[in-house]
Copies of this chain bind each other. A is one copy, B any other.
Amino acid sequence: MVLFRLHEGCAVLRLSKLTDYAVVVMARLARDGALPEGRVQTAPGLALATGIAEPTVAKVLKILGQAGLVEGLRGARGGYRLTRPLAAVPLSEVIVAIDGPIALTACVDGGQGQCEAQGICAVRGRWDPVNDAIRRALSDITLADLAGPTRCAPATHFAQLVAE
């Protein structure tokens, strides 16, 4: 399972800040019409719109681009746009793009040889139902469910704004 701490020390599950940013940035792209075949939005512009630092926005967009979740157009008048509408992007895909595969323990899928060789790990394999449940929950929710019809800012960055 993923526990999101977000530095408030109140939550066990951690969602990486970058994933939080990614959701916000993609929601902003959708809001501004940067949809497939639509007009693009620049990283500096998205930084201004969301309040997230520009280098960070650029970093997130590059990662999302590698994962195919956004399309980057280079050169002057370049920018980014979504490759799919938000409703077609499960949250799990964003998490995987930013943080990697979703699993609770290292005892998943791979690593069988190790555990069996030692023969002391009876827990091995039993985390699978948990992992599956988590993955399913994350796959059933799309970015359209998270992004409201209006503008938004990341929860984490918001805390920074308040603190300043």
- CB within 8 Å of B: which residues of A? 1-4, 6-16, 20, 23-24, 27, 51, 91, 95-96, 98-108, 110-111, 114-115, 117-118, 120-124, 126-127, 129-131, 133-134, 136-138, 140-141, 145-156, 158-159, 161-162
The answer for the CA separation of A115 and B110 in the assembled complex, in Å, is 42
The contact of A4 among B1, B9, B159, by CB within 8 Å, is B1
> DSSP class of A's interface residues: helix, strand, loop or mixed?
loop
A10-B100, A95-B1, A118-B158 given; A130·B123 CB < 8 A: no
The answer for the CA separation of A18 and B62 in the assembled complex, in Å, is 34
Please tell me if the beta carbons of B118 and A155 are within 8 angstroms of each other in the complex: no
- Inter-chain contacts of A13 with B (CB < 8 A): 1-3, 13, 99, 102-104, 131, 134
- Inter-chain contacts of A111 with B (CB < 8 A): 8, 159
A108 to chain B, nearest CB (A): 7
The answer for the CA separation of A126 and B147 in the assembled complex, in Å, is 8
A89 to chain B, nearest CB (A): 14
The contact of A12 among B20, B101, B124, B151, by CB within 8 Å, is B101
- Greatest chain B CB density within 10 A among A3, A11, A147 is at A3
A12-B101, A146-B126 given; A121·B1 CB < 8 A: no
